[in-house]
Amino acid sequence: MSKLKIVIAGCSGRMGKTLLECVAQADDLVLHAALEHAGSDMLGNTVTADVKITADIDAALKGADALIDFTRPEGTMQHLEICRKHKVNMVVGTTGLSAQQKAALGAGAQDIGIVFAPNMSVGVNLLFKLLETASRVLDKGYDIEIIEAHHRHKVDAPSGTALGLGEVIAKTLGRDLEKCAVYGREGVTGERDPSTIGFATVRGGDIVGDHTVLYAGIGERIEITHKASSRATFALGALRAARFLKANQAGMYDMQDVLGLK
């Protein structure tokens, strides 16, 4: 059985290094290419006997099965066009994409398989499913707050995962997250609107990723929490997504599809 040929974008970043380690440990995968942006000090460095870090996206994707991308929105959009050209599937964990960029992914999924998820962790995606049940039961009389914490280097807030949690809750409750989300409170804010979903963000140290959804009622609180202690949880989920795409047709998928939770 031939091994799945994987290309990793942003290979010298925190997530990229973890992906390299996890691919090396997988019996059914092989590193096909490792990408960095033009001008990176890492270009030309050896990753394996057969792979050196390159900025030549076109050459890197030729003959590959899947690109795993946890980079920046502008980089992901560039990768998308070349993946479509070479019919290479994509696993996208990039956060901070605009509505227009998400639509571009959807258009690209007409030609290739794309798994796009704000969080590739198996545990977090189980959390998404649990929140559907919790929100249906706690739809009245409970104020909903989402608290997330990440390392000091994270550049977007709230995290893509926190927004994903909010979207699941809002959809279950029949609300529009764009209209009911509250992202900051300061000064005299007045009483809390019970129809809102609040977000609180913490940035500091080397926190990999903590997410808590708080349902605060009268006389009780329900807290559902996921804490990541290693980036390996996201990397292993991404590799699972790449395997899923190999066995499925072109289209837009998420981790709920990968894990069979729909």
Active-site annotation, residues:
150, 154
- Cα torsion angle, 232, 20, 69, 74, sign: positive
Query: What backbone phi and psi angles, to 5 degrees, belong to 109?
Result: -70, -5
Amino acid sitting at position 141:
G
Tokens of 257: 């599809």
Tokens of 76: 């992901």
Where is 202: in which H helix or E strand?
strand 197-203
Longest CA span, the chain: 64
Tokens of 77: 């959009």
Spatial separation of the C-alpha atoms in residues 172 and 170, rounded to whole Å: 5
Spatial separation of the C-alpha atoms in residues 258 and 240, rounded to whole Å: 7
